[in-house]
């Protein structure tokens, strides 16, 4: 076995172990902060796996989107609402755990079946595009995948407008969660700079 293949094998083993153990940690750990940080580790290792597959652009995009944006926002949200309170004990926790475990195992068996039945070998393994893949991805995004790409962007825009509407209560006449009319005075007070009416 040549040195390159050995290195690749070691990297693959380490990355896979990190992904599996990290993902288990995300689900099983009690502390939500640890879970969030481990999730970042899992995302990074998945990016490493992409790198091993010669898909450097996808790996960098994975780091940028999942680690740099999604995971940072998750941690941000956790820390903004970090209340030190104990979770209420749930009575039927055992049955819930059994149900969720069985659902997860069903999904796992489905994935294993896909893995076993699919033909994974490429028609021409020599035809690896490597560094050129960035250009190919761009070409596909603007030709045959244009519609999904644009639909995804519209969806993200809708989500963003929705988030802004939820965050800025003053554009609405009544509270979304309770249905009560919004206290307009409170909103105006909050939107005024604090220092202007001091003197």
Nearer to another protein, 15 or 63 (CB): 63
181 pairs with which residues across the strands? 174
CB 42 within 8 A of CB 19: yes
Among 23, 29, 49, 60, binds another protein (CB under 8 A): 60
**CB neighbourhood size of 123 (10 A):** 6
User: What is the crossing angle of helices 72-80 and 32-52, to 10°?
Assistant: 180
CB 61 within 8 A of CB 46: no
């010669």: which residue's tokens? Answer: 54
Among 56, 169, 182, 187, binds another protein (CB under 8 A): 56
- Sequence length of the chain is 199
DSSP state of 29: -
Among 12, 52, 57, 169, binds another protein (CB under 8 A): 57
Q: Check binding of 76 to another protein (CB under 8 A).
A: yes
Closest CB 124 distance from another protein, rounded Å? 21
Q: Check binding of 9 to another protein (CB under 8 A).
A: no
Number of residues near another protein (by CB under 8 A): 28
Q: Check binding of 81 to another protein (CB under 8 A).
A: no
Nearer to another protein, 69 or 105 (CB): 69
CB 181 within 8 A of CB 173: yes
The residues binding another protein (CB under 8 A) are 2-4, 33, 37, 40, 44, 56-57, 60-61, 63-64, 67-69, 71-73, 75-76, 79-80, 82, 130-132, 134
């Amino acid at each position: 076995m040549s040195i390159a293949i050995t290195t690749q094998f070691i990297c693959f083993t380490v990355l896979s172990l990190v992904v599996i153990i990290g993902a288990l940690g995300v689900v099983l750990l009690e502390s939500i902060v640890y879970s969030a940080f481990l999730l970042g580790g899992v995302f990074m290792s998945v990016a490493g796996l992409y790198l091993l597959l010669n898909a450097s652009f996808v790996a960098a995009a994975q780091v940028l989107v999942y680690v740099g944006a999604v995971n940072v926002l998750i941690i941000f949200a956790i820390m903004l609402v970090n209340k030190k309170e104990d979770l209420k004990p749930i009575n039927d926790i055992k049955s819930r755990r059994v149900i969720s475990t069985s659902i997860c195992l069903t999904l796992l068996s489905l994935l294993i079946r896909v893995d076993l039945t699919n033909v994974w070998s490429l028609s021409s393994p020599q035809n690896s595009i490597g560094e050129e893949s960035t250009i190919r991805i761009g070409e596909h995004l603007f030709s045959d995948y244009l519609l999904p790409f644009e639909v995804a962007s519209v969806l993200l825009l809708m989500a963003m407008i929705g988030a802004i509407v939820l965050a800025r209560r003053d554009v609405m006449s009544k509270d979304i969660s309770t249905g009560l009319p919004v206290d307009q005075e409170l909103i105006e007070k909050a939107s005024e700079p604090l220092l202007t009416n001091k003197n």
